[in-house]
Structure 1
Amino acid sequence: MCDLHVPVRPGGDVAFADAALKRLIERDAVDHEFIEQHTNHWENIVEHLGSVTYDELLADAGLTMAQLDAFVDEYAAASSAILLWSMGITQHKHAGEGVRGIVNLALSRGNVGRDGAGLMPLRGHSGVQGGAEMGAYATALPGGLEPNAANAALLATKWGFDVPAHTGLTAAEMPEAAMAGELDVLWMSGGNFLESLPDPRAVELSLEKVPLRVHQDIVLSSQMLIPGDDVIVLPVNTRYEQEGGGTETTTERRVVFSPEIPRIVGEAKSEWRLFAEIVSRVKPELADAFKWADNQHLRQEIARVVPAYAGIETLAATGDQVQWGGPHLCQGGEFPTADGRGRFSVLARPTIDLPDGMFTVSTRRGKQFNTMVQSEHDPFTGTGRDAIFIDSAEAAALGFLDGDLVTLRSETGEFTGHLHVTRLARRSLQVYWPEGNVLIPSGPEHREGASRVPDYNAVVTLAPADRSTLTVS
């Protein structure tokens, strides 16, 4: 599936980015013209990288010099490159530094704002991108605006009612608030905290403590079955059944229209209509602000409130689309900063201190839609969903064979499954998500500081399973 795989160890992304950029500088394989005309702080990063050694960078990245050079050879030879990253970078305690390391590599060769080049974060699925850009996010207002007094006032003038000027609780913070007795109502639009968040047992106990839980969704999920004082389930339509059609936003920033499938499924409503009806009953004085005849009228409001989405109101037929920001962000090296220049960052490399005899375990996806697993046997890898992926050399050194039944133990829980021998970074393991979430610790110390996104990695021991304690099903 790829020409080159560089097995960076979990937590080693910053060290790898620094090592690669250090190598590019030594080879004089950087775009000096782009750097001079369109960026700041290049001298700072050159000085910083001159003060660190390959020995320390490669040790943290879990790589050899040959593996590093293989990557640098490919990158330096490419006239243009698109740098993509996904949840292996973002669902990590040091995600911000990891992303900035990728940005450094892109800026160093001018791979921004032109054909065949760019920076591209990949999201979990198509509903996440557009939802976040419409403000369905604890740390942002519609259009990605920072929650502050000025932006809240701006939206209030457009909507005609007060808008909160502070951030909310993230998904990972809500169970902690519930456990502390700080939530009276938890209204969940889709999703499944029980399957998606770290430490599912703690999540289950916390959801039981919420006096009123409302679950609106298109399918039944396991979290709905957790007992509570009052649990209400509200069925809603899929995006393809929205009155007046619906849109999705792709990772290429394309807002794509799908026409309405005209059918009625039980008592299901369009999600936006359900919200509107609740508002009109709880605060009748705001009812007029939520009286959209259909989704076309709602798209007209989006175009007015979120200028980047201008054009969404014109979409009417299958495949109609607009691309917010145009074909390129930062076109021609013009960045959305005060001086129009991109910024190199001197990175704070995380300390990797893995005790002897222990491993880092990361979660991975198989053939599934979010937490909904379609098969107990994953067709992507040919393994069962209880697979524990391990490097072949590591398994041999420990005396394990492919298929051996073993148990992983972390500070949070344990997971028993069958080893699958493959090629991984040393002293690292992988398990499927969401099954492996029993190993992932929760709490503020296990989240990225700015985004508050959970770190889906854990430190574990590996041992043969005690078959006498296993339940046969």
Structure 2
Amino acid sequence: MTDERDQDPTTPFYDHPTGGWGSLKSVLRQASRNRIGIGVMETLRRQNKPRGHMCTSCAWAKPPSPHLAEFCENGAKATIWDLTRDRCTPDFFARHTITELRSWPDHDLEAVGRLTHPMRFDAASDRYVATTWDDAFAAIGAALRAMDPRAAVFYASGRASLETSYLYALLARLYGTNNLPDSSNMCHETTSVALKRTIGAPVGTCVLDDFEHCDLMLFFGQNTGSNSPRFLHPIQQAVKRGCRIVTFNPIRERGLVEFMNPQNPAEMLTGRATPISDIYLQVRPGGDIAAIAGLCKHLLDRDAVDHGFVAQHCHDFARFESWIRDLSWDDIETVSGLDRADLIQVADLYARSRNVIGVYGMGLTQHVHGGDSVAMLVNLLLMRGNIGRTGAGICPVRGHSNVQGQRTVGISEKPELVPLDKLAEMFGFDPPRDTGMTTIEVVQGVIDGTVKGFVSLGGNFARAIPDQGRADPAWAGLDLNVQIATKLNRSHVLVGDGAWLLPCLVRAERDQQKSGRQAVTMEDSLSHIHASIGKRPPASRHLLSEPAIVAGIAKTTLSPSPLVRWDDWIADYDRIRDLIEQTYPDQFADFNGRMFEAGGFYRGNSARERNWETDSGKAEFSCPASLSAVGGEPDTGVHTLVTLRSNDQFNTTIYDYHDRLRGLEGDRMIVLISRTDMARAGLTEGQRVTLVSAVQDGISRRVDGFTVTPYDLPPGCVAAYYPEANPLVPLSCHDQASKTPAYKGAPIRIEA
């Protein structure tokens, strides 16, 4: 059984359970700093409940019978952060130039508070100045009309609702472009590509009920405690009824070690926590392919394969079997960093388990061969028929609250994923058919000047991207840079002429349109659709909803059409949902009638029904290009960099400088490294070092000022915070199929 004794006691770690009193104290600290009122507490009471407000943090599922408090530590922080009393007004911008604000830390920029007025950048004064919505829309429309649509990009973060996302994608295609990257490009696009290829469905196959019937969960590269803490409830319940948990992760994350439920008085009063992982294996970064191959090899040796399922439902098993049998255990152990005996123990546990769920996060997807990592997990599940039955399946855990849903309703650079013929019929136009830009291609286009216009629906794109150092100065060269946002962030200060800052409502705020108060919807990680109604008064009377801002830009950019009725759609969002239903009738039948179903309504999944929409008509076994997802053994002196989010962080939003669940405090400019590797490299604790990219492409990428911090990590692995370490990840360092940046496996050197 995993416990604290497995942790290297000479390095920092958190010796308390995830959740518990530490979680409550962290939320209270944020509540105090943001001076929240009773209205925020009412919002939290309604959060993630039927006819309530859906959290803007992670995309974990909302149960039909919610807990008294159906929010987690990070969900509470996100809501408190959204509903702060602090304001970022025109007076603030009058006091601070953009040049000055570029020197501010990320946390301090967002901590200024909610944006209150539409703003335009005035290059002469180096400041944002207040403007009107009419002037902003007119200028943005004029700039877009003057631009080649192929040079314009419409980016979306994962928070925008289904209604906003549908209109945004429609705006881009009516304008003439499929340049519709979203935050999936930086995290789970690997999932969409790999699962579509192997099982015919681009998303996970599990629903909440499966976690009540599984016998074993295998976790790969997913930090539940920080990134989706509400998931800990079904995990804890599963453990208590006898489900076993095995975790593969380079770092020992407390969420999968031990959990104390803050809503359980007995646990809180007695200090009794639930151990989570029975086995916790610290695999090398990118070593998951090899680790899973070891499990598969032992299953073959003991003939623990569901031959009936494989014969009926799968394709190319013989080639996969041959590949596995040819592997040596020496190679498997070397690449994975794990012992054969440990892998055999897990494989035996898997063989004895009837229903198994494979759970994973960006530890699998953000590698040069991330798609092969995901496909290997599919192979493992297929070997025993663990896709397409209750209590089993594959479960990618998404980050942003609607990042999966945005893809569902048309935000995609891939035209083959969108019903373009249906859109052409509905709106009387000829949609563009060429493939649009991915995030990687957008960043390259900003650097080389081929991207002229950038519209961002939320997010902090300029800070979230790889090769940040090269891109930062290039943003000022854009002809148009439109940022739809709630708070100030790094992307808003890397600007030049043609920059606009358009403030919008947050999801918890009241959205009042001509027909009355509006609801919006989003899709969770398990493909269920939920409605959300905001009730808090807007932070400023000058704010518009995201759908209204999209419509405002569209009306000044596009020629009028009787089939495209922006004003009618904004007056009543039911009409937008009618459009979504008309476009996607199989998934959104009776959309308006079902949107308030407790637990959300399920839009379905073909692979869950064992209807394999692949080229062969069956689930595909596949062989990886490399046994290591990082693409081979590093050279001498090269370490593999894993980027991390802290416990007080959501994506690029830094709530505070605490990383409680790792036992780290105060400084984000740290590099974590094992004591063994420190000694080998001649480094000392507290030493200041520079991290340098080891990719040899003639471009220097280096970040100064990291402090060496000993930590319990596998050999050859170092870790640093995202986004501070992003400049070390080259654009060329991405998954081969999806172009997802390799944030979990970039080669670097350490210079003293």
Contact map agreement 1:186 1:212 (CA 8 A) in 2: yes
- 1:414 deviates by 2.4
Letter in 1 for 2:633: D
Contact map agreement 1:406 1:416 (CA 8 A) in 2: yes
CA distance in 2, matches of 1:286, 1:320: 38
Query: Which residue matches 1:313?
Result: 592
Contact map agreement 1:42 1:344 (CA 8 A) in 2: yes
One of 431, 436, 447 as aligned partner of 2:734:
447
1:358 pairs with 2:638: yes
Alpha-carbon distance change, 320 to 343 in structure 1, aligned in 2, over 3 angstroms: closer
One of 257, 261, 272 as aligned partner of 2:535:
261
- 1:354 deviates by 0.8
Letter in 1 for 2:535: I
Contact map agreement 2:645 2:722 (CA 8 A) in 1: yes
Alpha-carbon distance change, 204 to 339 in structure 1, aligned in 2, over 3 angstroms: closer
- 1:123 deviates by 1.6
Contact map agreement 1:185 1:211 (CA 8 A) in 2: yes
CA distance in 2, matches of 1:86, 1:224: 29
- 1:64 deviates by 2.1
Query: Which residue matches 1:460?
Result: 748
Query: Which residue matches 1:6?
Result: 281
Greater Cα offset, 367-376 or 407-416? 407-416
Query: Which residue matches 2:482?
Result: 214
Letter in 2 for 1:81: V
Greater Cα offset, 396-405 or 356-365? 396-405
Q: Deviations over 1:88-143 (max 9, x none)?
A: 2112121211111111011011111111110111222212111122222323x5xx
Question: Mapping of 1:368-407 within 5 angstroms?
Answer: 368-383=649-664, 384-398=667-681, 400=683, 403-407=686-690
Query: Which residue matches 1:348?
Result: 625
* SS of 2:623 mapped into structure 1: coil
One of 188, 191, 198 as aligned partner of 2:466:
198
CA distance in 1, matches of 2:725, 2:615: 44
Measured on the aligned residues, the alpha-carbon RMSD in Å equals: 2.3
Contact map agreement 1:279 1:287 (CA 8 A) in 2: no
Query: Which residue matches 2:423?
Result: 155
Query: Which residue matches 2:582?
Result: 304
Question: Mapping of 1:269-280 within 5 angstroms?
Answer: 269-280=544-555
- 1:332 deviates by 5.2
Query: Which residue matches 1:467?
Result: none
CA distance in 2, matches of 1:63, 1:287: 63
- 1:299 deviates by 1.4
Contact map agreement 1:378 1:385 (CA 8 A) in 2: no
Alpha-carbon distance change, 22 to 299 in structure 1, aligned in 2, over 3 angstroms: same
CA distance in 2, matches of 1:332, 1:301: 27
- 1:311 deviates by 4.0
Count of aligned positions: 453
Contact map agreement 2:529 2:595 (CA 8 A) in 1: no
1:86 pairs with 2:361: yes
Greater Cα offset, 302-311 or 392-401? 392-401
One of 248, 252, 273 as aligned partner of 2:522:
248
- 1:318 deviates by 8.3
Contact map agreement 1:311 1:322 (CA 8 A) in 2: no
- 1:369 deviates by 1.6
One of 349, 352, 364 as aligned partner of 1:74:
349
Contact map agreement 1:257 1:320 (CA 8 A) in 2: no
Alpha-carbon distance change, 347 to 81 in structure 1, aligned in 2, over 3 angstroms: same
Contact map agreement 1:11 1:352 (CA 8 A) in 2: no
TM-score, length of structure 2 as denominator length: 0.57
* SS of 1:313 mapped into structure 2: helix
Contact map agreement 2:428 2:563 (CA 8 A) in 1: no
Alpha-carbon distance change, 284 to 342 in structure 1, aligned in 2, over 3 angstroms: same
Q: Deviations over 1:187-233 (max 9, x none)?
A: 11112122211122212122111111111112211111123122111
- 1:240 deviates by 3.5
One of 60, 64, 69 as aligned partner of 2:339:
64
Contact map agreement 1:259 1:316 (CA 8 A) in 2: no
Contact map agreement 1:89 1:95 (CA 8 A) in 2: yes
Q: Which runs of 5+ in 2 are unaligned?
A: 1-256, 258-276, 513-517, 695-700
CA distance in 2, matches of 1:69, 1:191: 43
* SS of 1:240 mapped into structure 2: coil
Query: Which residue matches 2:398?
Result: 123
CA distance in 1, matches of 2:531, 2:609: 29
Question: Mapping of 1:32-71 within 5 angstroms?
Answer: 32-71=307-346
- 1:463 deviates by 4.5
* SS of 2:439 mapped into structure 1: coil
One of 485, 489, 494 as aligned partner of 1:226:
494
* SS of 1:116 mapped into structure 2: coil
Alpha-carbon distance change, 312 to 320 in structure 1, aligned in 2, over 3 angstroms: farther
1:170 pairs with 2:444: no
1:330 pairs with 2:621: no
Contact map agreement 1:6 1:71 (CA 8 A) in 2: no
CA distance in 2, matches of 1:181, 1:332: 47
Letter in 2 for 1:34: F
TM-score, length of structure 1 as denominator length: 0.89
Alpha-carbon distance change, 287 to 394 in structure 1, aligned in 2, over 3 angstroms: farther
- 1:342 deviates by 1.0
CA distance in 2, matches of 1:433, 1:51: 38
1:189 pairs with 2:457: yes
Greater Cα offset, 219-228 or 61-70? 61-70
Query: Which residue matches 2:572?
Result: 294
- 1:415 deviates by 4.3
CA distance in 1, matches of 2:397, 2:688: 34
Alpha-carbon distance change, 208 to 70 in structure 1, aligned in 2, over 3 angstroms: farther
* SS of 2:725 mapped into structure 1: helix
Letter in 2 for 1:182: T
Contact map agreement 2:481 2:495 (CA 8 A) in 1: no
Q: Which runs of 5+ in 1 are unaligned?
A: 465-473
Query: Which residue matches 2:182?
Result: none
1:146 pairs with 2:426: no
Letter in 1 for 2:530: V
Letter in 2 for 1:12: G
Q: Deviations over 1:316-357 (max 9, x none)?
A: 6485621110xx652453322366421111221154131112
Greater Cα offset, 316-325 or 360-369? 316-325
* SS of 1:55 mapped into structure 2: helix
1:436 pairs with 2:725: yes
Q: Deviations over 1:166-195 (max 9, x none)?
A: 221122322321222212211111121222
CA distance in 1, matches of 2:737, 2:334: 27
Greater Cα offset, 175-184 or 229-238? 175-184
User: Larger RCO: Structure 1 or Structure 2 (Cα < 8 Å, ≥ 6 residues apart)?
Assistant: 2
- 1:374 deviates by 1.0
- 1:55 deviates by 1.4
Alpha-carbon distance change, 63 to 181 in structure 1, aligned in 2, over 3 angstroms: same
CA distance in 1, matches of 2:278, 2:656: 29
* SS of 1:281 mapped into structure 2: helix
Percent identical pairs in the alignment equals 30
- 1:450 deviates by 2.6
Greater Cα offset, 93-102 or 339-348? 339-348
CA distance in 2, matches of 1:286, 1:100: 45
